Structure 1
């Protein structure tokens, strides 16, 4: 065989081997791409995203779009060729798999975590929005989580309102652990609760659950020498009128800011907060209205601009990353709270955009 032919054949076989290796060899990475954006002021699949009853609402204009990121699933393993293609694609981000999914987390666990974070973000968004509007919101302590195979399993349930522990009134969430740990492991503790079903029925009508109070006795066990029953208490809000978010197939906490702004807009007279502009954004939010950072910021700005957004409300801690590669025609607006966002919307509405706080690669 001529040397030139042999060299060509060897090169071809090597290329085929490399391509096969690229397809067959898994790499510990995951991929993020821009996901759908949804106008919180509008409809999704034929239903209003934000549904408010029992309170006067007002017409809105423009867009306040929440943004999302598509990610490969926790069980999916990219091959080398997919990773290289993703690295070269400006509309994709390839990150270490453990960045998105902790080691050992199953697909079911990831889905459950995302659903819980999404649900909690809605509650915090409602609380932050009503606080911004100076509408009082009552709170109560509830059972947040019941740990499997612990003493409370089957006796207490998520959503049960904790009124008393050993006959002492529970004023704040931390009181529960404080009162339980006053016992020694093996001793009994008595919870006075309003069952979750009764509490939900009262809250649906905008009322504080008042009773009847059910007494539940649980024997504590040791956890590092402390007496525990195996629950996690959390703060729950009692909203003065029903506010529901209708949006399926979305998870995680990052839509909190945009949900809160949508609620504020619908409850504010005067023609809307946006001035008819297309505004998108992202950010977690807590009950007090503080905006926190999220993941996948560059994918969200790309998705927002592709849909027509002109302004993007950006958590201040994401500003530096977002500013490194901002899509043309999209203006980043730095926010640290719902109050910042409302003020920014006012400037946009009044065409006073020169005074908007902006993002830079230098960070804050």
Structure 2
């Protein structure tokens, strides 16, 4: 066999071997890509995303789209060829597996966590929108979770409203831990609660729950190294009672990043006129009860997905601006927002066509 032919054959076989190795060698990476984008002012799967009853609503036009990111599952084994392709692809992003699933988190655990964050983001969006409209919202401290095998198991339940601890009124979730840790492990602490069933019945009947119970719990020592704190084995959260019914219908979505767009959509439906002036606006960002907008993950994927659907403006959390501005899709204007008020001000300028002075994202912020 001629030397040249032998060399070509050996090179070909080597290339085939490398490709085979690349296909079968797993690498510790995951992939992110643009996910669906949904207009919070419109319908999804045949029903309105935002449903309001018991309060007058107004027609809306344009788009206020929330955006999402697709990620590979926790148990997906990416190979070397896929990783290289993902690094080269413009619309995808390859990241270390632990970035998406830290501490060996399973798919089920991640899904549950995302569902809880999504539910909380909806509640905060409702509160932020109604506060912006000066509509009163009643809030209370509740038992969010009860840890199995702790002193509270069987005595307190998720959804119980915590009115007081040792006779001291509770106003914030942090008050609960502060009052419990005044005790030493082994001492009794008294919770004054409205049972979850009583609270649910009162809300259904549109009355104030008045039935309370005193529950005595013997504290246990914490697992901390060093000095042990007194614990009862619960986490406390905030529950809101709204003056009318607000439902957010959007399945198969998780995480907290749609909060801003839900809040803006609700504000738009509850006020005359429309926020966008018919313009296609998309965006992202967490939101708290006071309307503060927080950063999210996967910003580059979300801007690509939004522009692909036709968005002209993208409301971007201030902390995400540097990353988003590094590779802005052509034709998309990134608008920097830090609060719901910022977003409403930007939308006012957009619908008026006065966009020259919009607070735009730059690579520096």
TM-score scaled by length of structure 2: 0.95
- SS, match of residue 37 in structure 1: strand
Which residue of the other structure, out of 243, 258, 267, is the alignment partner of 2:246? 243
Aligned to 1:154: 154
Q: 1:249-302 CA distances to partner (integer Å, 9 max, x unpaired)? A: 000000000000001001111x21110111100001111101111111111111
Contact 1:145-1:157 at 8 Å conserved across structures: yes
Aligned to 2:352: 350
Aligned to 2:257: 254
Aligned to 2:321: 319
Distance in 1, matches of 2:294 and 2:117, equals 13
Aligned to 1:332: 334
Contact 1:140-1:235 at 8 Å conserved across structures: yes
- SS, match of residue 355 in structure 1: coil
Distance in 2, matches of 1:50 and 1:337, equals 21
- SS, match of residue 345 in structure 2: helix
Distance in 2, matches of 1:52 and 1:241, equals 8
Aligned to 2:123: 123
> Comparing 131-140 with 246-255, which one deviates more in the overlay?
131-140
Pairing of 1:103-252 with structure 2 (within 5 A): 103-204=103-204, 207-208=207-208, 210-223=209-222, 224=224, 225-252=228-255
Distance in 1, matches of 2:107 and 2:204, equals 32
Distance in 2, matches of 1:32 and 1:316, equals 22
How far off is 1:237 after superposition?
Answer: 1.7
Which residue of the other structure, out of 279, 295, 300, is the alignment partner of 1:298? 300
Aligned to 2:102: 102
Distance in 1, matches of 2:207 and 2:83, equals 53
> Comparing 158-167 with 336-345, which one deviates more in the overlay?
158-167
Contact 2:295-2:318 at 8 Å conserved across structures: yes
How many residue pairs end up in the alignment? 361
How far off is 1:334 after superposition?
Answer: 0.9
RMSD across aligned positions (CA) = 1.4
Q: 1:308-329 CA distances to partner (integer Å, 9 max, x unpaired)? A: 1111111111111111111111
Contact 1:26-1:79 at 8 Å conserved across structures: yes
Q: 1:144-188 CA distances to partner (integer Å, 9 max, x unpaired)? A: 121222111232222111112233322332221222222221222
TM-score scaled by length of structure 1: 0.95
Q: Where do 5+ consecutive residues of structure 2 fail to align? A: none
Q: Where do 5+ consecutive residues of structure 1 fail to align? A: none
